[in-house]
């Protein structure tokens, strides 16, 4: 992929489009608890990407939206449930832990449905394993 060119947004949408509607619509006002959870999730994601040799998406808004969804689920449900899936019973899913980040497919096969952790051979992989809190907030505001 050429430097400076991002992936085609139409090709990125499957992971994000399967997110439940509350994950896709984020509030621009973030509570201090939400900011704390967002920072915890952001630091976790950076450490996990570095530890597993994976990278964030070349389109930073994808990374930001997923991190924001994980933080919201941590606050609302007590666990970082994957925000890119629909659940009949989110509380039961958190308790089961299969889709808590990092989910079982990611831990076992490095397959991240959310496109948060991408392997070297993924065409949407960016070069970064870090993202600032300011970047996350800028991409999820409004």
User: Residues with catalytic annotation?
Assistant: 84
Cα 13 → chain centroid: 13
Nearest to 16 by CA among 81, 73, 74, 63: 63
Identify the residue whose tokens are 């050429």.
Answer: 2
Distance CA 77, CA 73 (A): 5
The three-class DSSP label of residue 118 is: strand
With beta carbons less than 8 A apart as the criterion, state whether 116 and 122 touch. Answer: no
Dihedral of CA 58/62/110/43: which sign? positive
């Amino acid at each position: 992929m050429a430097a400076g060119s991002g992936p085609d947004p139409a090709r990125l949408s499957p992971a994000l489009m399967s997110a439940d509607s509350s994950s896709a619509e984020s509030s621009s006002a973030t509570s201090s608890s939400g900011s704390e959870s967002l920072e915890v999730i952001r630091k976790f994601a950076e450490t996990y990407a570095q530890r597993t040799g994976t990278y964030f998406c070349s389109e930073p808004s994808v990374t930001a939206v997923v991190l924001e969804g994980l933080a919201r689920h941590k606050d609302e449900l007590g666990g970082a449930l994957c925000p890119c899936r629909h659940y009949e019973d989110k509380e039961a899913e958190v308790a089961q832990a299969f889709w808590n980040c990092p989910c079982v497919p990611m831990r076992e096969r490095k397959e991240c449905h959310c496109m948060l952790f991408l392997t070297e051979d993924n065409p949407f992989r960016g070069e970064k394993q870090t993202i600032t809190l300011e970047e996350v907030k800028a991409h999820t505001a409004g």
